[in-house]
Amino acid sequence: MSATIRRAAPADAAVLAELGAATFVEAFGHLYAPEDLRAFLDESHSVSAYAGALADPAYALWLAEDAAGRAIGYAQAGPCGLPHADVRPGDGELKRLYVRAGHHNGGTGRALMDAALAWLLRDGPRPLWVSVWSENFGAQRFYARYGFAFAGEYAFIVGRQRDREFIYRRPAAPA
């Protein structure tokens, strides 16, 4: 892997907003009407949205940068907010993990995942959650390798579209 992983800082909000929007469009932009996609990006991948997450100690973000210092991937973790009956206060969630298309399968995603998991488990074992699009089979296999298993599904809404989103859970490790 040629990427460097570092914890994102408040000054990275604009870089994260651009990277977040770009990687979401690379992965899922084809699914949505342009106006729905734009509204979603304006809300979920704005500089202010990332600035808020970076300022909140309950959340953490990491950037992957190539040898030239360009942002090529990121991960975000925090308290679980998924709509599942078994989610409890204190459960953690991998909220986002994206790598630019030209940098897939080089270990960057694994390095970001490892950083996020270490942070999520810094105070000891706890249940962890992640959601993944029902047709993103590569991501489903990736999370399964980390011990996540199917736990349910919900509708991920972007504008007028509702996507079938799977919820995966990893139980707290035995004591």
| Domain chopping of the chain, boundaries | 4-170
60-65 vs 4-7, strand pairing mode: antiparallel
pLDDT band, very low/low/confident/very high, at 175 (cuts 50, 70, 90): very low
The pair of three-digit structure tokens given for residue 128, joined into one six-digit string: 């962890």
Answer yes or no: is pLDDT of 93 > 50. Answer: yes
Q: What gap in Å lies between CA 127 and CA 129, rounded to an integer?
A: 7
Answer yes or no: is pLDDT of 85 > 50. Answer: yes
**Burial call 36-64: b when 16+ CB within 10 Å, e when fewer:** ebeebbeeebbeebbbebbeeeebbbbbb
CATH classification (class only), 4-170: alpha beta
Q: Give the mean model confidence (pLDDT) for residues 62-69.
A: 95
Contact predicate 10/18, CB 8 Å: no
Helix 13-28 × helix 34-44 angle, to 10°? 150
pLDDT band, very low/low/confident/very high, at 102 (cuts 50, 70, 90): confident
